[in-house]
Amino acid sequence: MQKLIFTNEVARELSGLIAAANPHGVYVLADSNTVMLVWPYLAADCPALSDARLITVPAGDINKNLDSLSHIWSELQKLGANRHSMLINVGGGMITDIGGFAASTFKRGMRFINVPTTLLGAVDASVGGKTGINFGGLKNEIGAFREAEAVVISTAMFSSLPDSEMYSGYAEMIKHGLLDGEEALTALLAYNPCVHDFNCMLELLESSVGVKRRVVAEDPTEKGLRKSLNLGHTAGHAFESLAMEKGAPVPHGYAVAWGIVVELVLSHMHKGFSTALLRKIAGYVRDHYGVPSITCDDYPRLLELMHHDKKNLDDRINFTMLEAPGVVAIDSIAGEEDIKVALDIFRDLMSM
Amino acid sequence: MQKLIFTNEVARELSGLIAAANPHGVYVLADSNTVMLVWPYLAADCPALSDARLITVPAGDINKNLDSLSHIWSELQKLGANRHSMLINVGGGMITDIGGFAASTFKRGMRFINVPTTLLGAVDASVGGKTGINFGGLKNEIGAFREAEAVVISTAMFSSLPDSEMYSGYAEMIKHGLLDGEEALTALLAYNPCVHDFNCMLELLESSVGVKRRVVAEDPTEKGLRKSLNLGHTAGHAFESLAMEKGAPVPHGYAVAWGIVVELVLSHMHKGFSTALLRKIAGYVRDHYGVPSITCDDYPRLLELMHHDKKNLDDRINFTMLEAPGVVAIDSIAGEEDIKVALDIFRDLMSM
């Protein structure tokens, strides 16, 4: 079982982990951002990294590809890594995905530790063991399931992130709060992630990652419960794709935040989710994420995109709905007319 | 646990396996040889393969590389494979290694079945779950541990192989016989693999693969017992590399057969392995594998190559030795002078 460590003393924790693992050589993977913004501080504070060899790839999901993977393999080989070495991945989800896959396959597998430097990476990509690269125009087409030896999560890493990055990751935390229960949700809605209160955020994050960890542990092969993690994503992916098509892309987490509101409206209609709570969440989303630029003319395309996302055969679409925070109904069906009504109410709630 | 099926009715067994797996699409990987020599007969006899989509790569270990891997991934993608599809690898160790790795990583893992078409592939590459490609000039540098859903082994596959291929694979079987015990060894030395008695060979092969399977099951992480599979390979790799350096390469199995004799001489010197049996094995090897073209001038280079193979620090080299067939002493040490004496005796036994 991988170690999940929540700390604001990354260097100290890393030193302990490296000493305990006693690897034949330590290698660090960073991208063109984290190599400047994070690595110098980490290297200065962590004596265990003083002999580490650095490997870098260009930042951005577009570089999570075979060229970068091949480069990482080549560098590991040239720098003398072996199957008893250790790779430390310092970056967002792009770096932990590609670095985890490179380590899983170099010499048929060396150990790796993830140090996520984005909120989204910490909350989403650090549990579940999904590693990989994009290939042939498809996301995460090639990869492996392999957990890191340890994930070291520090909220101090996020202090230099732009607000939009913080909100984007926070949308996934709100989703986890909704799956967890009212108490967790209330704590999240009372906080603004851009305040950068390291300790408060660390506590919220630990509880949030715990939700995902429990769900994945109960359903590792994505047969049932794990579908609950899809909350907000059926409508969210449609918003994300539509924005892309219109040439005005939005961050993933923003689309998810809007998708959550739409799917809570459906939950209200089909499962009696509370109006008061729906209004409260919609208010938080409107205040921090703004509103998507859609009109009712966009509905047909949004419905098409939702259909495509789920590969459904008739006019009904599969959602994860909630009766209440913590009370999940996976595989809940809504027809197209219901979804159009939900989109109307969504636009109303967001005061469009 | 993967199914190991020994049969001379490959098409029927494959049909049953495919029907039981009920995959979303069947894909077949073959190389430029097996696509002509094996695939047409298999396809004609196996209705379950009538809709299979064919993917080919050029034959030869030199093509077990990233280009071929990327080609297989692309074809799987273009032909619409998904994580519920199945890949059938029809070929020697090159095809089962690269096909197994491609399947292990496509969409983070689809199922695969191996149909080895060489004796070496059947005896060596079908157990243990090692998949992978060569990279940066090093063999099997990138890969994963992942077992096939099933391995279907038929000796009828080998009828078109040249004699040198048969002897090359048979050397590994003799090694397994030595690790197993006197009875198994006697049966092997009484047979000539180029006679192509399908049923006799199938029985010998089943028993031989069983030896490897038991060893790997007892020591999956190569910490102890699995080192016994290295018998003959320390000296064998040195013969193989020397032949390569002299511009007159020999098949892997030939070098292993000679290496087995050298290491049995050392086993005689250090562990009391029987002289009579040593002479009998040396005779079989001399009659079927001929003799390597070495003189005592080659000893220094052979010793260097053995050192390099084991990365030992002083003048002692680590071997797997035998007290008798089935009585293994892993991590047995011999000094350079002993090895030179053993090489002298080896040349004597081989009547050089």
The C-alpha torsion from B23 through B25 and B26 to B31, rounded to 10°, is -140
CATH number of B164-349: 1.20.1090.10
pLDDT higher than threshold 80 for residue A125: no
Question: Which residues are bridge partners to A6 per DSSP?
Answer: A153
pLDDT band at A139 (very low <50, low <70, confident <90, very high): confident
Q: For residue B160, give the nearest of B41, B293, B327 by alpha carbon.
A: B41
Q: How many CB atoms lie within 10 A of CB A97?
A: 25
**Nearest chain A Cα distance for residue B83, angstroms:** 10
CB contact under 8 Å between A109 and B135, yes or no, is: no
Best of B76, B141, B147, B311 to substitute, by most chain A Cβ atoms within 10 angstroms, is B141
**Nearest chain B Cα distance for residue A9, angstroms:** 34
A65 neighbourhood in chain B, CB within 8 Å: none
Residues forming CATH 3.40.50.1970 domain(s) in chain B:
3-159
pLDDT band at A268 (very low <50, low <70, confident <90, very high): very high
Query: Cα–Cα distances in Å, from A325 out to A200, A241, A264, A329, B228?
Result: 22, 28, 10, 11, 58
Q: How many CB atoms lie within 10 A of CB A264?
A: 28
Mean pLDDT for the stretch of residues A177-197: 96
Name the residue among B77, B136, B140 with its Cβ closest to that of A136. Answer: B77
Percent of chain A with pLDDT over 90: 85
Mean pLDDT for the stretch of residues A222-239: 90
Name the residue among B106, B140, B143 with its Cβ closest to that of A142. Answer: B106
Between CA B168 and CA B318, with CA B296 as vertex, the angle to 5 degrees is 60
CB contact under 8 Å between A74 and B132, yes or no, is: no
pLDDT band at B187 (very low <50, low <70, confident <90, very high): very high
Between CA B18 and CA B25, with CA B19 as vertex, the angle to 5 degrees is 60
Percent of chain B with pLDDT over 90: 85
Separation of alpha carbons A65 and A46, rounded Å: 30
Q: Which amino acid does the sequence have at A203? A: E
CB contact under 8 Å between B141 and A77, yes or no, is: yes
Question: What pLDDT, in 10s, does the model give residues B205-222?
Answer: 999 999 999 998 888 767
In this structure, are strands A86-91 and A53-57 parallel, antiparallel, or unpaired?
A: unpaired
What mean pLDDT, rounded, does chain B reach?
Answer: 93
Question: What pLDDT, in 10s, does the model give residues A204-226?
Answer: 999 999 999 999 888 876 778 88
Separation of alpha carbons A309 and A76, rounded Å: 37
* Overall fold of domain B3-159: Rossmann fold (3.40.50)
CB contact under 8 Å between B141 and A109, yes or no, is: no
- The number of C-alpha atoms within 13 Å of A90 and in the hemisphere containing its C-beta is 30
Percent of chain B with pLDDT over 70: 97
Within 8 A by CB and 6+ apart from B170, the residues are B119, B188, B193, B253, B288
How many residue pairs from chains A and B have C-beta atoms closer than 8 A? 65
| Euclidean distance between the first and the last CA atom of chain A, given in angstroms as a whole number | 47
CB contact under 8 Å between A108 and B70, yes or no, is: no
Enter the tokens of residue A148: 């890191």
Residue B31's pLDDT is: 97
Best of A71, A141, A145 to substitute, by most chain B Cβ atoms within 10 angstroms, is A141
Enter the tokens of residue A48: 């265990």
A107 neighbourhood in chain B, CB within 8 Å: 141-143
Name the residue among A106, A107, A144 with its Cβ closest to that of B105. Answer: A144
Name the residue among B66, B70, B145 with its Cβ closest to that of A109. Answer: B145
Q: For residue A182, give the nearest of A270, A282, A277 by alpha carbon.
A: A277
Name the residue among A105, A138, A141 with its Cβ closest to that of B144. Answer: A105
Residue B310's pLDDT is: 60
CA-based torsion, A196, A198, A200, A201: positive or negative: positive
Separation of alpha carbons B13 and B42, rounded Å: 11
A69 neighbourhood in chain B, CB within 8 Å: none
Residue A352's pLDDT is: 57
Mean pLDDT for the stretch of residues A282-286: 97
pLDDT band at A253 (very low <50, low <70, confident <90, very high): very high
Question: What pLDDT, in 10s, does the model give residues B232-247?
Answer: 999 999 999 999 999 9
Closest-approach residue (CA) in chain A for B101: A105
E strand or H helix at A11? helix A10-21
Residues forming CATH 3.40.50.1970 domain(s) in chain A:
3-160
Name the residue among A66, A74, A143 with its Cβ closest to that of B70. Answer: A66
pLDDT higher than threshold 70 for residue A312: no
CB contact under 8 Å between A70 and B73, yes or no, is: no
Residue B329's pLDDT is: 94
pLDDT band at B190 (very low <50, low <70, confident <90, very high): very high
A144 neighbourhood in chain B, CB within 8 Å: 104-105, 108-109, 144
Best of B73, B77, B108, B138 to substitute, by most chain A Cβ atoms within 10 angstroms, is B108
Question: What pLDDT, in 10s, does the model give residues B39-50?
Answer: 999 999 999 998
Question: What pLDDT, in 10s, does the model give residues B266-322?
Answer: 999 999 999 999 999 999 999 999 999 899 999 999 999 998 766 555 678 999 999
B138 neighbourhood in chain A, CB within 8 Å: 77
A109 neighbourhood in chain B, CB within 8 Å: 144-145
A142 neighbourhood in chain B, CB within 8 Å: 73, 105-108
CB contact under 8 Å between B144 and A109, yes or no, is: yes
CB contact under 8 Å between B77 and A130, yes or no, is: no
Residues forming CATH 1.20.1090.10 domain(s) in chain A:
164-349
CB contact under 8 Å between B141 and A73, yes or no, is: yes
pLDDT band at A97 (very low <50, low <70, confident <90, very high): very high
Query: Cα–Cα distances in Å, from A334 out to A46, A226, A236, B213?
Result: 53, 20, 16, 52
User: Where does chain A show beta strands of DSSP type E?
Assistant: 3-6, 26-31, 53-57, 86-91, 111-116, 130-135, 138-145, 150-153, 316-324, 327-335
pLDDT band at A308 (very low <50, low <70, confident <90, very high): confident
In contact, B148 and B112? CB cutoff 8 Å: yes
Q: Which residues does A contribute to its contact with B (CB < 8 Å)? A: 66, 70, 73-74, 77-78, 101, 104-109, 130, 132, 135-136, 138, 140-145
Residue B352's pLDDT is: 57
CB contact under 8 Å between A138 and B77, yes or no, is: yes
In contact, B42 and B49? CB cutoff 8 Å: yes
Separation of alpha carbons A27 and A44, rounded Å: 16
Q: Does domain A3-160 have CATH number 3.40.640.10?
A: no
**Nearest chain A Cα distance for residue B106, angstroms:** 5
Separation of alpha carbons B250 and B239, rounded Å: 9
**Nearest chain B Cα distance for residue A20, angstroms:** 20
- Specify the range with the lowest mean pLDDT, choosing from A284-288, A299-303, B315-319: B315-319
What mean pLDDT, rounded, does chain A reach?
Answer: 93
E strand or H helix at B72? helix B66-78
Mean pLDDT for the stretch of residues A185-207: 95
Give phi and psi for A78, each to the nearest 5: -60, -35
CB contact under 8 Å between B141 and A104, yes or no, is: no
Closest-approach residue (CA) in chain A for B139: A107
CB contact under 8 Å between A141 and B107, yes or no, is: yes
> What's the ipTM?
0.89
